[in-house]
Chains A and B, each alone.
Chain A
Amino acid sequence: MKLSLNWLNDFVRHGLLPEKLAERLTMAGHEVKSIDEIAGDRVFEIEITPNRPDCLNTLGLAREVSAIVNKPLVLQKLKTIKIPKTLCSVTIEDRSACLRYVGAVVENISIAESPIVVKERLQAMGVRSINNVVDITNYGLFENGQPLHTFDYDKLIGGKIIVRRAKAGEKIVTLDGVERQLNPSILVIADAERAVAIAGIMGGQDTEVTAKTKRILLESAYFDPVLIRRAGRALGLTSDSAYRFERGVDLTNVDVAAKRALSRLLDFAGGNIVNYRDVAVKKTVTQKQFSVDMKGIGHFLGTNISAVQVKKILGKLDFKVSGKGECLKVMAPSFRSDIKGAIDISEEISRIIGYDRLDSSLPQIKPSAIVSSERFQLKRKLRRILTAQGLDEAISYPLISRGAIEKTNVADLPISRVKNPLSLDQEYLRPSLLASLLAVVNLNFNHGQKNLRLFELGKIYPPAGEKEVLGIVLTGNRPQNWQINKKETVDFYDLKGIVVRIFETLGFDLPTCVLGKKTIDIVLEKEKIGFLGKVSKDILKNWDLKSDDVYYAEIDLEKFYKLKPQIKRFVSLTDFPSITRDVSIAVKQDVSFGQIESLAREIGSTHLIAINFIEQYLGEKIAAGQKGLVFSLLYQSSQRTLTEAEIAPIHEKILQRLSQDFGAVIR
């Protein structure tokens, strides 16, 4: 909303410099965004909050200023006009869409230029001057907030005004010269035969007031805000009038505004009023009276305010206030539909006084009935663990395209679709984090960044639901430094290491990796809580990723959140020496290290305290189908020094059983 300071001066003598006035308005809830100088005038651009349509005009803002500076508000009196008894034809067909319609016919008008002052003020409002008649309607809108429209009465077929829904297939060429297709959700003003205006939004070209116009019909009405807004959106059309109707105009001002406009019309364009009609479903809004306890308000605000001051402020804002002492009876004016009770009064008072002048205190915060989210705490820890592993955290778009889903080969997963997507790129809620993360990999590859270690704590969305998952992507080389700079690409074990490290750090039982159909499952206590593996070649190809080695792990955090850390007990530090024995064997490739490990543990019992894997060898020096494994066994007792003689039989037995059970050959 624009506010001309010259115009404002007609209503209230505030006596403030523009910058000071701007600050006071801002601090009263009408934020002044900018101050411009237009033809000797200062014009504020003010952001009016949606609850205050009454401030979308100069009078409304002047009322606010009058309360802020505590100076009287003066409304310029116009020449009184004689309202004829003869009626014009106005019919409201849709009585829920139009609560009031005032029509007046004026004859013998002379179309001319507007007086300078009108032109200047419209210019300040950013509106082009057209002619005296059209300008008067715009002037009225910016003066008191009531949108007005004029028709060339001689072009209204049958001289009739009908407020009705548009017919299917009906068309109208609006004042901006565009032909618009209408439908029954749109309210129109029609004459006997056709739509002549889109109600509340824009008039039609056919009945436009021109230089040749002799008789006009002036319209001042109240249209349903929701209907106007929806029609405007559907047509992609808005106007100063529509903006005000959408937010709600003052029902009681409809005829007042019409009369002010008629008075100006006779003044600027001559002529005489021949017909007048006020069709009203409702003429006013009934405001409820409610009581306001000043003690209660003082307590709620934390600042005591006197009843006298409150009466003064509310009076300036056109509220009716009665009652003595601390308990006041208050009734809001018809244009303040936002005021519903004492709580709203507390805001009116405090914003006019200024929030900055109210007291400040620190609340006594008691221990909450709500406990902190364990999820949030665990995610905090996960971030710490993963960044310590050299992974960067990503946050990607949860809405993705059909294409991204298909490229990731997850189109068979059930998915949720957005009903009103903004674009096809954001049509679906992702069923897998991989689709989002591959887009991230793709972007980084395109920027030449090929070594990526990323994770995301994000949501995936099975139909009508959502669950949190952790996704990890590794690709490119292992971290190097200038002393160890041989390039090694990451592989499955890098990813497994990170996954296991998470469980280890949090003190959970360690998961095992189990070969599944397409991926490797991460299993804990027989339950699958995630998967990991190499992203398949065709998915990489679909995403146009020039790499063979992109590894991905996903952990279902919903299951993860249910895990409890093991109860830790202190193990005393032993001073007795340990004995380490290296073992190098050749076994068939289908024998897993896990099998060897559990056999060794079984036999080694309490004396075998650690098994450290050293190397796997799959080269030429070993028979086809075989692999070489090197590991060490660590024997130690917390009670005494173990002797070679004690260890030898245990160790021998392990070796013996390895060859017996797995055909291992000691190398």
Chain B
Amino acid sequence: MMRWDFDKITQEAIKEITACDDLKNLEALRVKFLGRKGLLTEVYSSLPTLSAEEKPLVGKNANNFRNKITSLLDERRILLENTSTDIVAETLDVSLPGIAAPVGREHILSQIIEEICSTFENLGFVVQDGPEIETEFNNFTALNIPADHPSRDSFDTFYLETPDPEQKDRNLLLRSQTSPVQIRLMKQFKPPFAVVIPGKVYRPDAVDASHSFVFHQIEGLLVDEDIKFSDLKGLLTAFCQRLFGEKTRMRFRPHYFPFTEPSAEVDISCYICDGKGCSVCGRKGWLEIMGCGMVNPKVFEAVKYPKGKYTGLAFGMGVERMAMLKYGINDIRLFFENDVRFLKQF
């Protein structure tokens, strides 16, 4: 009679190994079965004492047992290694915050400017900028704003004490719109071009929750020999759908700007309520987001482009307004106060 019932031993070993869910215990099992003082060693060391009949049979059974257990142990080890939470699981509070290098935030206005500019860059535009201190010619005259227009009054435009080199008896001013950069670029370059121009503009408005004497605008200008009003609609629709989502519906409302003709204000379907009417859109379902139009031929005249050769489209939008709409910010002063609790929110 054989001293070892290999079938039984194997069954029990399999049971123990498959029940083991810890690498430490698995190692203990390995030692128990295959180790120097383990079961198998005991079997092998007893082989010389066995009869010539028994010897090959026990040897064969022992080898089978070793192969079977070794592969089982390996399998189990790999499984446990992969699923194991390993290192001292009992002291790890996984709900504690992780540690990362400190990171700062771009100002929310910079983020919006970036988003808008890069959207236009993807549509084939380039980004340009220009000075904040301007001449009356660039800020008004060249943009077809009449000499006696109210916006030129000191109630509506900041003037500096510095005289305007282009015009005696006039002073330099802080631009009240980004449009003078259009004039600067057109004086310097011939079409075709497609530019967007972000920047600060100034208007003497008393500071309160919805007014600021300085704010940011983004201006766009596309001039070529054959730009059409339909292009204006198509381009701005493409822009708004990229920025606010593909389902955004557009509304072009006729409006008046001296430097464009025809002119329009652009409304988008409210992206909060999808046009059904909510508190963000004042129950109208529409949000007014920019002004636009076809460049008035008077403007081309002012920059001395050949008469009738070019047409163009222009548009402009307020960055603070965009940010306020997008994030529900209710006070324009927050943008310029730079409370870090505000800066870190975006």
Contact = CB atoms under 8 A, between A and B. Distances in A.
Contacts of B21: none
A369 B233 CA distance: 23
B103 A387 contact: yes
B193 A369 contact: yes
Interface in B106-127: 106-107, 109-110, 114, 117, 121, 123-127
A369 B231 CA distance: 20
A556 interface: no
Interface stretch (A267-275, A359-367, A402-410, A580-588): A359-367
Interface stretch (B61-69, B72-80, B333-341): B333-341
Interface stretch (B36-44, B47-55, B259-267): B259-267
A417 B103 contact: no
Contact of A360 (B124, B234, B251): B234
Interface string A447-480: 1010011110001010111100000000000010
A418 B230 contact: no
Interface in A379-430: 380, 383, 386-399, 416-423, 426, 429
Interface in A41-84: 49-52
Interface string B313-344: 10000000000000000000001111111011
B39 to A, nearest CB: 47
Contacts of A393: 104-107, 110, 343
B127 A373 contact: yes
Contacts of B161: 416-419
A299 interface: yes
A355 B343 CA distance: 40
Contacts of B160: 416-419, 429, 464
Contact of B213 (A350, A359, A426): A426
Interface extent on B, as a size class?
Answer: 35 or more
Contact of B251 (A51, A356, A387): A356
Contact of A346 (B101, B262, B344): B262
B99 to A, nearest CB: 5
Contacts of B335: 395
Given A369-B189, A395-B336, A387 B128 contact: no
A454 B106 CA distance: 10
Interface string A330-356: 000000000001011011001100011
Interface string B167-200: 0000110100000000001000111111100101
Contacts of B154: 419-420
Contacts of A479: 102
Given A393-B107, A464-B133, A350 B338 contact: no
A358 B104 contact: no
Nearest to B238: A362
B153 interface: yes
A24 to B, nearest CB: 11
Contact of B235 (A52, A362, A395, A449): A362
A347 B193 contact: no
Nearest to A457: B110
A51 B104 contact: no
Contacts of B121: 372
B7 to A, nearest CB: 55
A376 interface: yes
B112 to A, nearest CB: 11
A453 B104 contact: yes
Given A300-B228, A416-B162, A370 B105 contact: no
Contacts, number: 246
B261 A347 contact: yes
Contact of B129 (A376, A418, A426): A376
B33 interface: no
Nearest to A418: B158
A649 B153 CA distance: 80
Contacts of A500: none
A481 to B, nearest CB: 5
A449 B185 contact: no
A599 interface: no
A443 interface: yes
Contacts of B191: 369
Interface in A21-45: 26-29, 31
B339 A443 contact: yes
B213 to A, nearest CB: 6
B289 to A, nearest CB: 15
A423 B205 CA distance: 10
A3 B311 CA distance: 37
A168 interface: no
B189 A422 contact: no
A248 B230 CA distance: 33
Interface in A612-640: none
A444 interface: yes
A481 B160 CA distance: 49
Contacts of A426: 213
Contact of B133 (A51, A343, A364, A466): A466
A389 B105 CA distance: 10
A423 to B, nearest CB: 8
Contact of B222 (A365, A444, A447): A365
A28 B233 contact: no
Contact of A31 (B128, B214, B253, B341): B253
Contacts of A26: 253
Given A376-B127, A397-B336, A302 B230 contact: yes
Contacts of A85: none
Contact of A358 (B230, B255, B261): B230
Contacts of A466: 131-133
B104 A461 contact: no
B231 A390 contact: no
Given A393-B104, A461-B133, A418 B256 contact: no
A286 interface: no
A341 B229 CA distance: 17
Contacts of A392: 104-105, 107, 338, 340, 343-344
A226 B105 CA distance: 48
A523 B335 CA distance: 33
B214 A449 contact: no
Contacts of A459: 132, 200
Nearest to A423: B206
B254 A27 contact: yes
Given A390-B104, A464-B160, A443 B337 contact: yes
Contacts of B230: 301-303, 358-361
B242 to A, nearest CB: 12
A356 B252 contact: yes
User: Chain B CB within 10 Å — which of A27, A341, A420, A481 has the most?
Assistant: A420
Interface string B142-176: 00000010100111001111100000000110100
Given A392-B344, A395-B109, A440-B338, A422 B206 contact: yes
A350 B158 contact: no
A473 to B, nearest CB: 10
Interface of B: 96-97, 99, 101-107, 109-110, 114, 117, 121, 123-129, 131-133, 148, 150, 153-155, 158-162, 171-172, 174, 185, 189-195, 198, 200, 202, 204-206, 213-214, 222, 224, 227-231, 233-235, 237-238, 251-256, 261-265, 294, 296-297, 311, 313, 335-341, 343-344
Interface of A: 26-29, 31, 49-52, 225-226, 229, 233, 299-303, 341, 343-344, 346-347, 350-351, 355-356, 358-373, 375-377, 380, 383, 386-399, 416-423, 426, 429, 440, 443-444, 447, 449, 452-455, 459, 461, 463-466, 479, 481-483
28 contacts: A27-B251, A29-B256, A341-B297, A355-B262, A359-B230, A361-B233, A363-B222, A363-B235, A368-B124, A368-B126, A372-B127, A373-B127, A375-B129, A389-B104, A395-B336, A397-B336, A398-B214, A416-B133, A418-B158, A419-B161, A420-B154, A420-B159, A422-B213, A429-B160, A443-B339, A464-B133, A464-B160, A466-B133
Given A27-B254, A365-B123, A368-B195, 8 more contacts: A29-B256, A301-B230, A347-B262, A361-B230, A387-B104, A390-B101, A440-B337, A464-B162
